[in-house]
């Protein structure tokens, strides 16, 4: 009688995940950032996988790494597989807790735009539980456990200098949108001036609220503070060719309903321009 050969043991899932991230992102450091581990851990996983296979997946170069033909041949399939696995995991989580919504967004959008709207969103969708993850850019893949992404993309906004009533004219700049003052200067004939630089937009706005200077406002984010009288416009308005963009990362009833509501808020805000 025939005897089937023993099934080859599976390759370690964590090692495959480390290889796929490093191959897709072009390096071990970038992969470590995405996976939340150290570059040394990614290196060890990949080296262990290569040792187990008995073949290299990367050529080690003086400046980084390069996929071997073997590594390049399996990358598309692994990427699809991990994308599908991420989608399946998200479907399980959503099915287990259908009234939960997870949003990834910029810290400034979370603080100045999204949080003030959460009570109205919850009133529209009773029982909704919202989690917000602040990050500087959208996740590199849809494997991240977020239903919606809220970042700047193609669209429209308005640049306008803002300060507290009686605040100073000292320019406050944030590292996230350091070029906004230059854009405004080019459109209005303004003259660049030195001033404090903050790592986060929200910190620059907080300083403006304290009367410590004038920040370059994005109207979508500071309109509420202007309406409350906590800030006032301190210069001309200039059109910005990007605006808030809501992306559904993982389709689902709650995500679609929330995205529709948030997009209406974005579009409604454009009416004031």
For the chain, domain boundaries: 13-92, 97-154+243-270, 157-240
Whether the domain at 13-92 and the domain at 157-240 fall into the same CATH topology? no
Residue 272's pLDDT is what? 41
Query: So what's the architecture of 157-240 in CATH?
Result: 3-Layer(aba) Sandwich (3.40)
Confidence label for 51 from pLDDT (cuts 50, 70 and 90): very high
Domain 13-92 has CATH 3.30.70.3340: no
**At residue 180, does pLDDT exceed 90?**
yes
Confidence at residue 143, expressed as pLDDT on a 0 to 100 scale: 73
Give the span between the Cα atoms of 25 and 15, in whole angstroms.
15
Average pLDDT value for the chain: 90
Give the model's confidence band at 99: pLDDT under 50 very low, under 70 low, under 90 confident, else very high.
confident
Which CATH number, 1.10.10.10, 3.40.190.10, 1.10.287.310, 3.40.50.150, labels domain 97-154+243-270? Answer: 3.40.190.10
Q: What is the pLDDT of residues 124-164, one digit of tens each?
A: 999 899 999 998 888 876 677 789 999 999 999 999 999 99
pLDDT band at 83 (very low <50, low <70, confident <90, very high): confident
Contact partners, residue 67, CB within 8 Å, separation at least 6: 23, 57, 58, 59, 75
Cα(241)–Cα(179) distance, integer angstroms: 13
- pLDDT of 229: 97
pLDDT band at 270 (very low <50, low <70, confident <90, very high): very low
DSSP string, the chain: ---PPPPPPPPPHHHHHHHHHHHHHTSHHHHHHHHTS-HHHHHHHHHHHHHHHTS-SEEEETTEEEE-HHHHHHHHHHHHHHHHHHHHHHHHHHHHSTTEEEEEE-HHHIIIIIGGGHHHHHHHSTT-EEEEEE-SS--SSTTSS-SEEEEEESS-EEEEEEE-TT----EEEESTTTTHHHHHHHHHT-------EESSHHHHHHHHHTTS-EEEEEHHHHHHHHHTTSSEE-S--EEES-EEEEEESS--HHHHHHHHHHHHHHHHHHTT-
What band does 230 get if pLDDT is binned at 50, 70 and 90?
very high
pLDDT for 262: 96
């Amino acid at each position: 009688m025939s005897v089937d050969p023993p099934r080859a043991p599976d390759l370690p899932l964590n090692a495959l995940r480390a290889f796929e991230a490093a191959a897709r992102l072009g390096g071990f450091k970038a992969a470590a950032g995405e996976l939340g581990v150290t570059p040394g851990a990614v290196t060890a996983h990949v080296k262990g996988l290569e040792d187990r296979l008995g073949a290299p997946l990367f050529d080690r170069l003086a400046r980084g790494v390069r996929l071997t033909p073997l590594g390049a041949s399996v990358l598309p399939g692994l990427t699809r597989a991990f994308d599908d696995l991420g989608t399946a995991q998200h479907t399980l989580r959503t099915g287990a807790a259908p009234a939960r919504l997870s949003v990834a967004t910029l810290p400034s959008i979370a603080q100045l735009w999204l949080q003030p709207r959460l009570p109205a969103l919850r009133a529209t969708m009773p029982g909704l539980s919202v989690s917000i993850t602040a990050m500087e850019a959208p996740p590199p893949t849809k494997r991240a456990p977020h239903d919606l992404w809220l970042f700047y993309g193609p669209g429209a906004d308005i640049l306008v200098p803002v300060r507290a009533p009686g605040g100073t004219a000292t320019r406050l700049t944030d590292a996230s949108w350091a070029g906004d003052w230059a854009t405004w200067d080019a459109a209005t004939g303004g003259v660049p001036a030195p001033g404090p630089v903050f790592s986060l937009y929200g910190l620059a706005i907080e300083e403006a609220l304290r009367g410590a200077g004038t920040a370059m406002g994005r109207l979508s984010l500071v309109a509420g503070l202007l309406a409350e009288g906590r800030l006032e416009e301190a210069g001309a308005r200039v059109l910005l060719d990007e605006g808030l963009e809501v992306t559904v990362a993982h389709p689902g009833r709650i995500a679609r309903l929330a995205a529709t509501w948030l997009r209406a808020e974005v579009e409604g805000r454009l009416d004031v321009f």
